[in-house]
Structures are given as C-alpha cells and as structure tokens.
A and B are shown apart, each in its own frame.
Chain A
Amino acid sequence: MKGQQAVRLHPDHKLKSVKQSLLMKDIIRDRWLYLILLPGMLYFVVFKYVPMLGLMMAFENYQPHLGFLNSPWAGFKHFERFFTEPQFWTLFRNTILLAIYNLVFFFPLPIILALMLNEVRQKLFKRFAQTLLYLPHFVSWVVAVGIFYILFTTEGGIVNEFIAKLGFEKIPFMLSEDWFRTMIVSQSIWKEAGWGTIIFLAALAGVDLQLYEAARMDGAGRWRQLWHITLPAIRSTIVILFILRLGSFLDTGFEHIFLMLNSMNREVGEVFDTYVYMKGLTQGQYSYSAAVGLFKSLVGLVLVLGANWAAKKFGEEGIY
C-alpha cells in the first residue's frame, strides 16, 4: 500500500528501481517484523517443504549414502511394483472399507447426539452429560485401546463373561478378522462421538428461538420443527465437516490402527499408513514406501479438492 502511494508520487521516474528501493526501505524500517516472521518461515521450509522435495525419492532408487540429489533415477518403477503387488488390492480394500465404515457409522452420530442433547430441557443434567461425553477425547489411544483389550479379552473380559453367561461361545474380539472393523469404529465412537457434538451444539445454540415459536403457532410439532428449522440451521456445518472428513478420508488414524494390529488380523487391518511404516521403517525400503505414501497423499489431495468443488456446486460455502 505504501509502495503504491509512493509510486503515484513519482509517475514519470523509473518505476522499478523506485519500487525496489522502497521495498528495501520498508523492510529495514519493519526489520523487527521480518525478524519475527523468520523462525516460522524457516520451520515451514525445513520441516514441510524439504520433505515435499524429498518425495522425488519415490522416483529414485534412494541410497542413504548418496542422498536425494545423487541417487540413481528409477522412473515409475516403484509405482508399477506397488500397483501390481497382490497386496495392493488388500490394502486398498482395507483402507477404503475402514474409511466408509467411519463415514457411515461414525460421522452421523455426533449430529444425532447433538440433536438429542439439544432436546434435553434440564440444564444441569445436560451440562453433566456433556462433561462426561467429552471425557474420553482426552484419553490417549494407547489407554483407550488398552481399556478395550481389558474389557473385551476372552480371558475374563467383562463383555465375554456376559456372552458366556448368555450361553454363547466367547468371541476373540481383539484377535479376530471379522470383528476388526467393528472394534475400530466402536472405539472411535466411544472416544470421539461426544466431543464431535460441540460444533453442532454451538450451531444449534445460534438458532433464533422466535422461529420455533412461530412454527408452533402454525401447529408444527417437534418433528416438523426439527425438519424445517433445526436441520436447515446446521446444514452448512454438516456440509463443511463432511468435506473435511472426505479430505482426510484415507487417514485411517495410524496411532489407533497400529495398536489394534496383530498377526491374527493383519489381513483386514493393514492399511496404507501402516504398510508405509512397515516397508519403510522396519524393512528399510525407503523409495518404495515413499512412493506408496505419495500415492496416498495424491489421492487424498484429489478428494479434498473434489469435495470442496462439489460443495460449492451445491451452493454451500466451501472451506477455501
């Protein structure tokens, strides 16, 4: 702004050099500001953009002693290997299925829960319920999964004791392929569904109460009020959270899944993230696993941009 003003004062001089010297002058005058900016910039360059450049190792046969710049070129070899590997489809299926399960079974729950909490008229009880339901969010995944192990084990776990009492056979929940996805989604629900209501409750609190009164005058019952007032009021929040969710569709949560993985359920539990960890860090196949990671990131990127575009198409505000 200051630059433009000054330029207008010297219309017939060499604009470029004037602009440049003004830039330098501004920077020197605001030297504190740029000094303050520096650490953050350095951080993003070193820890965010250098790894992005490092992704070129996915097209190389990376060798630690040669580094990113001198390792021999490999073209799309690693991608070809990944796509032709029989495990590719297993990983693909596992990741997508978990993501879909989360979207279908987890995503709507905070909305429903928020609507139900919103209907609770007893203020004190509502506050109490909220405090309790938020609580598991603050427990680490290690503890959450650890608690599930304790409650669901076949050796005296409370759930299996109950099943046995009813006369059924005990189920090895934590070691079974059939139950893996159910367990993952239930754990996510137990830990995060309550916390997820906050944003919807805030949106609900913003609804003008006069709307409800007017609707009641016109004879609308609770269901009609819900359908015509409450849901439209939180629609844009739902859409935005849905976009964000789609954007991280393939992020199945490494910290969570890795704890649940064991030799008995690897066939259904291994997802892209854990595969990258195993191939890259435990087996040292750096270039190959970087290629897998890049593939996952690119699909994720397409999903965010696509979801955002679709939201704008439907007349909602996007996130960008």
Chain B
Amino acid sequence: MTYKRSPGETVFSWFNIGFMLSLCFVTLYPFIYILFASISDPAEMARFRGMLFYPQGFSLDAYKAVLENPMVATGYRNTLFYVTAGTIINLIMTTLGAYALSRRNVYFKNSIMLIIVITMVFNGGLIPSFLLVNNLGMLNTPWALLLPGAISSFNLIIMRTAFQGIPVSLEESARIDGANDWIILSRIIIPLSMPVIAVMILWYAVGHWNSYFHALVYLRDRELFPLQLVLREILISNSTDNMMTGAAAGDRMDIGLTIKYATIVVSTLPILVLYPFLQKYFVHGVLIGALKE
C-alpha cells in the first residue's frame, strides 16, 4: 500500500498494541497465578504476598489431596457421563428434528416452526419444569440432566438452516433409486453436514461440562453430583476441610488454599488444552448462528 501514515496514526497503532497486550495479560494472568500457586509449597505460598511469576517452592500435595478426594473423583466421573450421554441425546434429537423440518413436504411445517420459536421467547419457568420432572419420576436421577434440555431451539434452527442448504438434486436422485427419508438423512444429509455437527457437539458438550443449574435443582444425592457442583462446594462454600484429615491444624489453612488452586486446574485443564485446537469450530459456530438472524 502506498498510503502514508500520519504521526498520530503511528502513535495510535502503538498505543493500540500496548492496550491489547495489557488486556491479554489481565485475561491470562489469573490462570497463570492459579497454576503456579497450585504447584507451590503450601506453607511458602501462605506467606507469599503480591504478584506471582513463578512457583514458590514445589509440592504436589494439593493435587494428591484433590485426586484422592472421593467427591472430586465421583464428580469427574459423573460429569464425563453427563457430557457423553447428554451430547449424544442432544445430537440425535436435534438432528432428527432439524431434518424433518428442513423438508419441504412436511405438513404444518410453518406452524411447527412457530411452536418452536415461541419457546425461545416464553417458557414455563423454573417451578413448573421442576414439578414436571418430579411428576415424571426423574427427580434425583441422571435423566433429569439429560432429557429436559435435549433440544436447544436455537441449535435446532441453525441445523435446519444448514440442512436446507444442501442441494435438493442429491435427495431427488436418491429417491429415484428408492431411498426413504431415513436413508437420505443417514447417507446423504449427515455426511454432508459434518462441520455443523462438529459445532453442535462442541456447544452441547461445553454446555454440559460447565453448567450446574440443572444439577442444583434436580439432584439431591451427592453421589450423582457433577463436577461443577462439587467445585462450587470447594471454591465458594469453602469446604476443603474433609479433604485434609490428618493434617496438623496449622497446616490446614495453608493446604486448604492450595487445594482450591489445584481443584481449579484439574477441572479446567481439559477444556483449556482442547480449546486452541477447536477454536476455529467455535468461531465458525458463532458465525453460522449469526447468519440465521
């Protein structure tokens, strides 16, 4: 480009980059602090004040305490189950619904779409949903986390839009060869829609991994608690006590804090490690979501 920058613009460019760098720091530093603090020696860490740029001493005691904690282990296992089973159910239900509503020859298609869009702006709310789950006998069972959110209307509409974009001629030639809708869906539509399906898997899976609201409302049995509810007890309600039986009273406070750091690392690491590889799918997902509007 032959365009020449004025001095003011150069100053702005540098200021802009400096500002971005400080934003990156503010975003990243809390994670770094937690990571370094979690592998620090509990006693040294308790004495330490101020910005942390490297671990204070080294100790993995906190990780040992976290991994030996039965609640964290159970929570982890439960969450893995809810994420896997929940996402599979989400995917099947959403794909089926989106396929049926993307066909032109379905009767009452527009009315059904209206019925679905209405649920996006108005719903029964917490209490009736709770009583419904109760009446269905799903209270305090894993089903309560899997079924009530089986389809997100928003995702259904995104998927339907994607399916509608597949050329009709493909479907027509298959029909001439005698294919029914099930075969068209499984052999033509799904293989051609892998990008949107990848986005759906990620959205639903991250949703299951991170949410605790349904578990808080529907589950009483601690053996069924997902990781986030366990984390809530440890991080917010401060119940690290039962994790350090045997430690001397003075050490308890110290290791209690490092246990919090280690818990955060253990519960967040999988997502943070996977995220850079999946980032482009997430961004892609936001954009196909935006196209609909």
A and B from one complex = yes
Q: Does B192 contact A (CB under 8 A)?
A: no
Scoring B16, B49, B126, B287 by chain A CB atoms within 10 A of each residue's CB, the highest score goes to B126
Question: Are B267 and A143 in contact, CB atoms less than 8 angstroms apart?
Answer: yes
Given A51-B129, A158-B51, A202-B287, residue A255 in contact with residue B97 (CB < 8 A): no
Tell me the dominant secondary structure on chain B's binding face. helix
A119 to B17 alpha-carbon distance, docked (Å): 9
Q: Does A156 contact B (CB under 8 A)?
A: yes
Query: Within the complex, which residue of A35, A140, A165 is in contact with B209, where a contact is CB–CB below 8 Å?
Result: A140
**Closest Cβ neighbor of A254 among chain B residues:** B213
Question: Are B20 and A33 in contact, CB atoms less than 8 angstroms apart?
Answer: no
Question: Are B23 and A129 in contact, CB atoms less than 8 angstroms apart?
Answer: yes
Residues in chain A near residue B23, CB distance under 8 A: 113, 129, 133, 194
Residues in chain B near residue A125, CB distance under 8 A: 17, 20
Question: Are B17 and A33 in contact, CB atoms less than 8 angstroms apart?
Answer: no
**Closest Cβ neighbor of B185 among chain A residues:** A36
Q: Does B65 contact A (CB under 8 A)?
A: no
Q: Does A59 contact B (CB under 8 A)?
A: no
Residues in chain B near residue A104, CB distance under 8 A: none
Q: Does A44 contact B (CB under 8 A)?
A: yes
A50 to B128 alpha-carbon distance, docked (Å): 8
Query: Within the complex, which residue of A40, A129, A141, A149 is in contact with B93, where a contact is CB–CB below 8 Å?
Result: A40
**What is the distance, in angstroms, from A239's C-beta to the closest C-beta of chain B?**
11
Question: Are B112 and A198 in contact, CB atoms less than 8 angstroms apart?
Answer: no
**What is the distance, in angstroms, from A297's C-beta to the closest C-beta of chain B?**
6
Residues in chain A near residue B54, CB distance under 8 A: none
Question: Are A54 and B34 in contact, CB atoms less than 8 angstroms apart?
Answer: no
Query: Within the complex, which residue of B100, B235, B287 is in contact with A145, where a contact is CB–CB below 8 Å?
Result: B235
Q: Does A72 contact B (CB under 8 A)?
A: no
Question: Are B264 and A146 in contact, CB atoms less than 8 angstroms apart?
Answer: yes
Given A1-B105, A40-B156, residue A199 in contact with residue B286 (CB < 8 A): yes
Question: Are B105 and A198 in contact, CB atoms less than 8 angstroms apart?
Answer: no
Question: Are A301 and B122 in contact, CB atoms less than 8 angstroms apart?
Answer: yes
Q: Does B272 contact A (CB under 8 A)?
A: yes
Query: Within the complex, which residue of B106, B185, B235 is in contact with A143, where a contact is CB–CB below 8 Å?
Result: B235
Question: Are A198 and B283 in contact, CB atoms less than 8 angstroms apart?
Answer: yes
Q: Which of A213-239 contact B (CB under 8 A)?
A: 216, 221-222, 237
Given A33-B103, A40-B93, A50-B132, residue A319 in contact with residue B279 (CB < 8 A): no
A158 to B181 alpha-carbon distance, docked (Å): 60
Q: Does B74 contact A (CB under 8 A)?
A: no
Q: Does A142 contact B (CB under 8 A)?
A: yes
Given A138-B271, A146-B264, A151-B30, residue A52 in contact with residue B105 (CB < 8 A): no
A123 to B272 alpha-carbon distance, docked (Å): 23
Question: Are A57 and B106 in contact, CB atoms less than 8 angstroms apart?
Answer: no
Question: Are A48 and B126 in contact, CB atoms less than 8 angstroms apart?
Answer: no
Residues in chain B near residue A277, CB distance under 8 A: 126, 217
**Complex interface bits, A281-300 against B, C-beta within 8 A gives 1, otherwise 0:** 10000100110011011001
Closest 3 pairs (CB-CB, A-B): A51-B124, A40-B97, A54-B128
| A positions within 8 Å CB-CB of B | 1-2, 23, 26-27, 30, 32-37, 39-41, 43-44, 46-55, 57, 62, 64, 67, 113, 116-117, 119-122, 125, 128-129, 131-136, 138-143, 145-147, 149-151, 156, 158, 161-162, 165, 190, 194, 198-199, 202, 216, 221-222, 237, 240, 247, 254-255, 258-259, 273, 276-277, 280-281, 286, 289-290, 293-294, 296-297, 300-301, 304-305, 319-320
